[in-house]
Chains A and B, each alone.
Chain A
Amino acid sequence: MKTMVIQIRTGSMMNMDTNVAVKLARAASQKGYDVRIFAYGEGVTLIKEGQDPKRFPNVGAESKALVEAGNVEISACVTCCAARGLRRGEEIPGMKIGSLTNDLSRYVAEGDRMITIAR
């Protein structure tokens, strides 16, 4: 089955970009596509465990459910994580602190379509 690659770099609470990315990933996953999400810049906030946005959508929990569904992989840039004090072990289980070199390049090589949700 084809693979959709989504690239995000907006903070989870800055605007709806991450929500759009998660909704696209969910729709693609439910249609049977494999999905790869790579987060960098402020986008790495997606993978932080323990998010509690109260009455706002919890994109961390929503994307965790997608990863558990099996055909969605989410990783974030280690440099951008470190810059923001996000250490290994603080990511949501099932998500990965990875790298542009190892993960984004693999996603781009394997992907059939790539879409950037960022401004």
Chain B
Amino acid sequence: MPSKLFILLKSPHEFTGMDMMKNIAAGERSGAILFEDAAYFAVDKRQANELLSVVKEAYVMADDLASRGFEGKAVPGFKAITYPEAVELIMEQYDQTVTL
């Protein structure tokens, strides 16, 4: 099964795709990149733990953290990345992207 990289854009309070993500990820190598308000997943412990129980690797866009006043405050398990690093993940590290 191809490895999957989830693209999340919505805030945890607006996001309703966790169960779908569990089903799609289902034991395969999986990761998530948090863009825009999805960056709040990376600074709320409970939401962060729920997401980390679904995907093996989690990334958050550094500029989305900074623009929301959370620079350097991602909880352990979330790596803050730049756009070139996001391109590397999309084009080279994972087989498919899934936007939810």
Contact = CB atoms under 8 A, between A and B. Distances in A.
Contacts of B86: 24, 27
Interface stretch (A41-49, A78-86, A87-95, A108-116): A108-116
A16 B36 contact: yes
Interface size class on chain B is 10 to 19
A17 interface: yes
Give the interface SS of chain A, mostly helix, strand, loop or mixed.
mixed
A2 interface: yes
Contact of A4 (B9, B10, B84, B87): B87
A26 B9 contact: no
30 contacts: A2-B91, A4-B87, A4-B90, A15-B36, A16-B35, A20-B9, A23-B83, A24-B90, A27-B83, A27-B84, A27-B87, A28-B87, A28-B91, A30-B84, A31-B88, A31-B91, A33-B87, A33-B91, A113-B90, A113-B96, A114-B97, A115-B7, A115-B90, A116-B97, A116-B99, A117-B7, A117-B9, A117-B35, A119-B9, A119-B99
Interface of A: 2, 4, 15-17, 20, 23-24, 26-28, 30-31, 33, 112-119
Interface of B: 7, 9-10, 35-36, 82-84, 86-88, 90-91, 96-97, 99
Given A33-B87, A116-B7, 10 more contacts: A4-B90, A16-B35, A17-B36, A23-B83, A27-B82, A27-B83, A113-B96, A114-B97, A116-B97, A119-B10
